[in-house]
Amino acid sequence: MTAWVYGLVDMQSFYASVEAASRPEFAALRRPDDDSTDPPLIVAGDPERRSGIVLAATPPAKAAGVSTAMNLGEALRKCPEAVVVRPRMGLYLETSVRIHHTVRRMFPLHEPFSVDEAFFAFPYPSVLFPDPVAAAQTLKETIWDLFRIRCRVGLAPNKWLAKMANRRAKKEPRGIVWWTEEDIPTQLHPLPVYEMWGLKRRAEILDREFGAKTIGDVAAIPEWRLRQRFGAWGTVIHRWSRGRDDSPMDPDAFAAPNKGFSHRITLPRDFFNREEIAVVMLELLDEVCARLRRAGQRGRRVGLSLTYAGFGGGFSRAKTLPHSFNAAEDFYPHVLRLLDRWWDGSGVRAVSVAVDLLEAESDTVQLSFFEDGEKRRRLSEVYDQVRARFGETSLMRAASLLPAGQLRDRSRKIGGHFM
């Protein structure tokens, strides 16, 4: 019987690799099968200020102790010979869109998953794809040939397992791992519960309250107990722990009409002060509204979510307005009211602002970046994901909003990064 193999391909050190690949002085030395041939290179917001933070680093820089989100000063102490470059988000986004096209050309059933990750699927066994590992190898080689970027591929009977296999592939020299049903007890179950993708805080609850140390331990918990503790999520956890997942491929994930715009920030420390939180909220709202306007949309509902420190929870509340807007000033009083009504004074770890119930702004002619509307929508999704990934950096700026220099820089940055 023909089944399906699902793949997840993930670019290695994406932004840093794009930079290394685009510089002729490094290009000739780099080898596809040896990441130590990369230059020690760091992409950092604002290299002039040593307070900038590391957004990406090549494998040799990482081997020297540099890690993402590290302060640049500290990174340079660990790797003094590193080349430090400013992020070029425009180049990364363009490369991302081109990589997604490449994956789709090889695997017609394809789903962009993030800026540098894509799911794909193919029937197996089949004439076109007789050997899944060889197909993954061809994909890797194609991406290297076209973009000079290394990638890793996880293959499995479903998307969730493909994601898990992809993580294991990082430890494999050839960067490809194929798991079948038979690998679930031997490969999946021994992994620590914290490696279960998609659980976030729930993994800690599984560990603390159920004593589950490994994914196999989770698989042994009766489903009804998981449902008792996690509600509908209990069933999902139960299925995942047994290596099952029936989420479908969504090839239109990027082309879908905008359902809403949101922006979230994880704070560098817990915020207890209303004014500080209010400043962050305004920053977020500014970003969300700028994107609404670029997309030619207005929204009628505004939402605020706060995540409290520790396991304290938080809240997510929204207010529907009589008219639609796309300016921060129009939404701001309403999110402030949500804050005052629902915030219990707990330390705040993360803040998210969202606008949805969208309507097209039909009576205004929009200046758009791209003539092609579909391309624009697709890019705006990629763009959202870049922002999701770089929330922390955006916040560094928000938290130090007051110094005038920071404010002046803002207009030149996207998501806290230079274009």
Which stretches of the chain bind Mg ion, using CB under 5 A? 10-11, 14, 116
Tell how strand 297-308 and strand 348-360 pair up: antiparallel
- Per the structure block, which two tokens stand in for 227? 């449902």
Output 11 or 339, the one with its CB closest to Mg ion: 11
Q: Give min distance, CB of 170 to Mg ion, in A.
A: 9
Output 19 or 286, the one with its CB closest to Mg ion: 19
User: What letter would DSSP give residue 31?
Assistant: B
Phi, psi of 190 (to 5 degrees): -75, -10
Q: Give min distance, CB of 115 to Mg ion, in A.
A: 8
Output 120 or 271, the one with its CB closest to Mg ion: 120
Output 116 or 287, the one with its CB closest to Mg ion: 116
CA distance 154 to 133: 9
Residue 296 backbone class (left: φ over 0; alpha: ψ -120 to 50; beta: rest) = left
- Per the structure block, which two tokens stand in for 391? 């929330």
Catalytically annotated residues: 117
Q: Give min distance, CB of 114 to Mg ion, in A.
A: 8
Q: Give min distance, CB of 412 to Mg ion, in A.
A: 26
Q: Give min distance, CB of 218 to Mg ion, in A.
A: 26
Contact 172, 182 (CB under 8 A): no
Q: Give min distance, CB of 10 to Mg ion, in A.
A: 4
Q: Give min distance, CB of 17 to Mg ion, in A.
A: 9
CA distance 4 to 123: 4
CA atoms within 13 A of residue 1's CA, in its CB half-sphere: 2
Contact 211, 125 (CB under 8 A): no
Radius of gyration in angstroms for the set of CA atoms belonging to the chain, rounded to a whole number:
22
- The per-residue b/e assignment along 298-319, b for 16 or more CB within 10 angstroms, e otherwise, is bbbbbbbbbbbbeeeebbebbb
Surface-to-core class of residue 33, CB atoms within 10 Å of its CB (0-12 exposed, 13-18 middle, 19+ buried): exposed
Spell out the alpha helix ranges (H) of 107-200. Answer: 132-147, 159-169, 183
Strand partners, 110: 120
Output 14 or 107, the one with its CB closest to Mg ion: 14
The amino acid occupying position 304 is L
Output 115 or 354, the one with its CB closest to Mg ion: 115
Give every strand in the sheet of 260-271, ordered side by side: 260-271, 348-360, 297-308, 314-325
179: closest CA among 295, 10, 7?
7
Output 14 or 308, the one with its CB closest to Mg ion: 14
CA distance 396 to 265: 10
